[in-house]
Amino acid sequence: MKLTPPLNKKVIFQVAFLAIVITLFIIKTCSPKEETTELTGADSVDVYLTQALHKPLSNDSPASAHRILGVSSYETAFPDINDEQLVSARRHGIKPQQKRQQLNAFAKNDLEIVYRCSFYCLDKLKNSVPYLVPRAKKLLDVIGRNFADSLRTKHLPQARLTVTSVLRTIDDVNNMQGSNVNSTPNSCHFYGTTFDISYTRYQPSVSIDGKPLRLVRDDTLKWVLSEVLRDLRQAGACHVKHEKKQGCFHITVK
C-alpha cells in the first residue's frame, strides 16, 4: 500500500492564510455600512467651528475654580504676521472692494452681519463695517462662547468682549494710513475673514440698577482671553497676532 506523503508546512500555512483573507473579505462586504453624517467631506476648520458652536455651555460653575494661566509670552504665542494671515484671507474671503457701497453685492450671499450679542459688543466702527464671511463669523461666535465658558469655570463674573474692527474697504484703509500704524495696503480686513478684539476694554455684566456685578482687572480678562485664543490657534482654526500699539488681538480664520 502506497502512503500519501504528508502536506508541506508551507502549503498548509498558505492555505490557512488564504482562507482567513477570504473570510475577512466576506465579512467586510456583508457588514452594513456606517451612515455618513452631514459633515462628512466638509472643510475641517468649518466642521470644528460648527461643532464648537453646538457644544452646550456649562450651566454651573465647577466646585473649585480653574486656575488662570494665560500664556508665557504674547509675542511667542501669537506671532502670525500679516503676510501669513493674508494667505488664508485671500483663500476664504471676498474680493477687496474700493467703496462700501460695493459691498452690497456680497451682503446677501457671501457675508453675514455682525451684531452685538451676549458674548461680545461692537466698538464704534469708524473705519470698518460689521460684516464677515460665514466661517469668520463662526470663529468670532466660538471665541465669545469659549470666553464666557472659561470665565464661568474660573469663577469670574461674565464680561463681553469688544470687537474693534471688522471688514474694511480700500477707501477705509487709505483713510487710516495717517492715524493707524498697523494699517496696510495689503490688509486682511479687505476680505471679511479678519477681525480685531480689544484686550484692554471689556463690558462687564451689570445688575438691575446698572452697576457692575464685580469689577475684574482688564489684565485678568486678557489672560483668560489669551487662553481661549491659544487653544483655537493650536487647533488650527485661526491665525492670531498680538498688536501692542493698537491694544488688540488681530485674528484671521483659517
Q: Which amino acid, residue 154?
A: K
- Which band of pLDDT confidence, cut at 50, 70 and 90, is reported for residue 183? low
What pTM was estimated for this model as a whole?
Answer: 0.79
Mean pLDDT score of the chain, rounded to an integer?
A: 85
Instruction: Please give the grid coordinates belonging to residue 174.
Output: 487709505
Instruction: Please give the grid coordinates belonging to residue 95.
Output: 474680493
Output the CA angle 45-81-248, nearest 5 degrees.
85
Cα(143)–Cα(10) distance, rounded to whole angstroms?
62
18-32, 61-75, 79-93: the lowest-pLDDT one = 18-32
For residue 122, list its beta bridge partners: 163
CA atoms within 13 A on the CB side of 108: 3
**What does the pLDDT read at residue 243?**
96
**Statement: residue 62 has pLDDT above 90:** no
CATH 3.30.1380 holds for 74-253: yes
Residue 105, number of CB atoms within 10 A of its CB: 13
pLDDT, mean of residues 219-245:
97
Nearest CA to 231 out of 240, 221, 222, 244 is that of 240
Q: Which has more pLDDT, 161 or 65?
A: 161
For residue 160, list its beta bridge partners: 203
Percent of the chain with pLDDT over 90: 65
